[in-house]
């Protein structure tokens, strides 16, 4: 049974579903320390709403990554599925 699609998704959930973070607590810590920007605006709110078309700037351990959100997932899937959720901008 698939989940109903919504027009937005929490930032911390997206980071886990797209496999940028292993858990929501890791995602929350990353967001709260200021390592994430939404559409160039800094955020420290794990509950920030993301929509398709938003651009995330992520300061990851392996370097800065800029991605545009294409799809909002209903759950965490395989790495192949996660890769289809966003497009690298930089």
Where exactly are the structural domains of the chain?
Answer: 9-88
Give the confidence band of 90 by pLDDT, cuts at 50, 70, 90: low
CA distances from 59 to 1, 2, 8, 31, 54 (A): 35, 32, 22, 10, 16
Question: What distance in Å separates the CA atoms of residue 85 and residue 9, rounded to the nearest whole number?
Answer: 12
CB contact at 8 A, 29 and 35: no
Q: Does domain 9-88 match CATH 3.10.290.10?
A: yes
Confidence of residue 1 (pLDDT cuts 50, 70, 90): very low
- CA 82 to each of CA 8, 15, 73, 86: distance values in angstroms, whole numbers, following the listed order: 17, 10, 8, 8
Residues 38-70: pLDDT tens digits? Answer: 999 999 999 999 999 999 999 999 999 999 999
Give me 59's structure tokens. 């300061």
């Amino acid at each position: 049974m698939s989940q109903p699609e919504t027009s937005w998704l929490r930032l911390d959930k997206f980071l886990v579903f797209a496999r940028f973070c292993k858990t929501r607590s890791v995602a929350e810590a990353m967001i709260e320390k200021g390592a994430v920007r939404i559409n160039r605006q800094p955020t420290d709110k794990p509950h920030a709403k993301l929509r398709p078309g938003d651009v995330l700037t992520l300061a990851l351990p392996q370097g800065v990554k800029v991605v545009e959100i294409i799809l909002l997932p209903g759950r965490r899937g395989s790495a192949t599925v996660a890769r289809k959720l966003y497009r690298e901008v930089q």
